[in-house]
């Protein structure tokens, strides 16, 4: 079994892209230990070579929701080749890390929400068969201290908050559902924060924020179809009571965790998953789009630094 070889000390602000000596690992139920990286396709022509390339297992499949998120991912991961298959667009590339080359295919969902992200995951599975799914982008922060704007939440546990029972006289009884990523992914994320400290400190990734220090934290994500823009929201209150470690909310993580769970019935390996969300607002009345770029680029940056641990 491959094992991590962790450095013996932490140097404070994380040296993103440093020289941690970490052995490769794999993820998912029934995943194989030996990596067979596929080089990214170099031509969009529907040749037999391209068909064979797509059938190979890629290392990472990334899903984004907004164009700003997709641009941040392609920039930070160096995904310069955009492929079109069956009317779908994918940005592909190979990321060089200290543990080896990582093949990455990224796509953007049709629209926000749980259902659309599940379709995007199926497209990635069908065309690239990745060993790991990463959902990356922006989210709303619930904790004003830990999840301040610009910070990044790395989540291996998702609380779906939209399950509920509607009782007489309009009373609504919420029913949360919680799912956790595979143990291998959790260990990898734990190793990242062991090396770099928690919170892990990093510099802002967009103009006018490069001298500011932000934090990456390992925490829970609340997920549902509702856009939360009220500090006194019943959903915020429910999530706080359900688990006070829920740091942020989004509209897609529940679909990712559900898709993974339902794919666990297959005989072949099931990809692991992780969610990386940059905090763009505080899910209150002040919610706006002003910090979307900052949150998206900070999140994509942390994904890049997590790759040596995840692959």
pLDDT tens for residues 65-77? 999 999 999 999 9
Confidence of residue 265 (pLDDT cuts 50, 70, 90): confident
DSSP letters spanning 11-36: -SS--TT----B-----STT--SS--
Residue 266 domain flag: yes
pLDDT at residue 188 above 60?
yes
Which pLDDT score, from 0 to 100, does residue 1 have?
39
Mean pLDDT of the chain: 83
pLDDT at 264: 80
Per-residue pLDDT band at 78 (split at 50, 70, 90): very high
* 310, containing H or E segment: helix 292-310
List Cα–Cα distances, 220 to 125, 146, 231, 253, 256, in angstroms. 25, 12, 19, 10, 14
Query: 214: domain range?
Result: 48-310
Instruction: Name the pLDDT band for 19 (thresholds 50, 70, 90).
Output: very low
More confident residue, 25 or 231: 231
Whole-angstrom distance, CA of residue 245 vs CA of residue 217: 11
Is residue 197 exposed (0-12), middle (13-18) or buried (19+ Cβ within 10 Å)? middle
**pLDDT at 171 > cutoff 90:** no
Whether residue 28 is contained in a domain is answered as no
Most confident range (mean pLDDT) of 25-39, 172-186, 207-221, 264-278 is 207-221
The residue that leads in pLDDT, 81 or 67, is: 67
Classify residue 260: in a domain, yes or no: yes
Q: Does a structural domain hold residue 7? A: no
**Whole-number pLDDT of residue 170:** 73
Where residue 107 sits, what CATH number does that domain have?
3.40.50.1580
pLDDT(276) > 80: yes
Cross-strand pairs, 67: none
Strands (E), the chain: 60-64, 81-85, 88-97, 100-108, 132-141, 152-155, 157-160, 164-166, 172-174, 177-180, 200-203, 213-218, 220-223, 246-250, 272-281
Cα–Cα distance measured from residue 66 to residue 77, given in angstroms and rounded to the nearest whole number? 17
Distance from chain centroid for Cα 101? 19
Mean pLDDT confidence for 241-259: 94
- Is residue 24, in this structure, part of any structural domain at all? no
Look at residue 241 and tell me whether its pLDDT is greater than 80: yes
pLDDT of 97 strictly over 90: yes
Bond into 199 cis (ω within 30): yes
Give dist(CA 302, CA 300) in Å, integer: 5
Measured between its terminal Cα atoms, the distance across the chain in Å is 14
Mean of the pLDDT values across residues 268-275? 87
Q: Is residue 111 part of a domain?
A: yes
Is residue 149 included in any domain, yes or no? yes
The neighbouring-strand residues paired with 84 are: 89
Say if 39 falls within a structural domain: no
Residue owning tokens 């953007």: 108
CB distance 2 to 23 below 8 Å: yes
Overall number of domains in the chain: 1
Strand (E) or helix (H) holding 8: none
Whole-number pLDDT of residue 267: 58
Dihedral of CA 50/56/59/60: which sign? positive
Report the pLDDT averaged over residues 260-281.
87
Instruction: Assign 270 a pLDDT band (cuts: 50, 70, 90).
Output: confident
The pLDDT of 50-71, averaged and rounded, is 81
- Rounded mean pLDDT of 19-37? 38
């Amino acid at each position: 079994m491959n094992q991590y070889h962790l450095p013996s000390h932490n140097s404070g602000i994380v040296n993103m892209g440093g020289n941690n000596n970490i052995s490769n690992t794999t993820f998912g139920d029934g995943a194989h230990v030996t990596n067979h990286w596929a080089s990214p396709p170099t031509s969009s022509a529907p040749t037999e070579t391209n068909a064979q390339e797509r059938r190979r297992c890629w290392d990472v499949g990334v899903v984004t929701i907004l164009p700003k998120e997709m641009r941040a991912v392609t920039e930070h991961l160096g995904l310069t080749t955009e492929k079109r298959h069956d009317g779908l667009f994918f940005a592909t590339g190979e990321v060089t890390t200290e543990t080896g080359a990582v093949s990455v295919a990224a796509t953007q969902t049709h629209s926000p929400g749980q259902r659309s992200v599940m379709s995007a995951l199926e497209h990635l599975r069908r065309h690239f068969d990745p060993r790991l799914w990463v959902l990356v982008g922006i989210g709303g922060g619930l904790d004003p201290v830990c999840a301040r704007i610009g910070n990044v939440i790395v989540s291996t546990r998702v609380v779906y908050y939209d399950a509920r029972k509607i009782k007489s006289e309009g009373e609504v009884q919420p029913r949360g559902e919680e799912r956790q990523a595979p143990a291998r992914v959790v260990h990898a994320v734990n190793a990242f924060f062991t090396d770099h400290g928690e919170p892990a400190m990093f510099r802002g990734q967009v103009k006018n924020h490069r001298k500011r220090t932000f934090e990456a934290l390992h925490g829970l994500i609340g997920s549902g179809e509702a856009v939360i823009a009220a500090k006194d929201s019943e959903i915020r209150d429910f999530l706080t009571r359900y688990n006070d470690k829920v740091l942020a909310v989004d509209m897609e993580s529940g679909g990712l965790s559900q898709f993974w769970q339902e794919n666990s019935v297959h005989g072949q390996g099931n990809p692991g998953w992780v969610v990386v969300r940059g905090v763009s607002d505080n899910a209150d009345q002040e919610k706006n789009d002003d910090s979307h770029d900052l949150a998206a680029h900070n999140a994509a940056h942390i994904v890049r630094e997590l790759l040596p641990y995840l692959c």
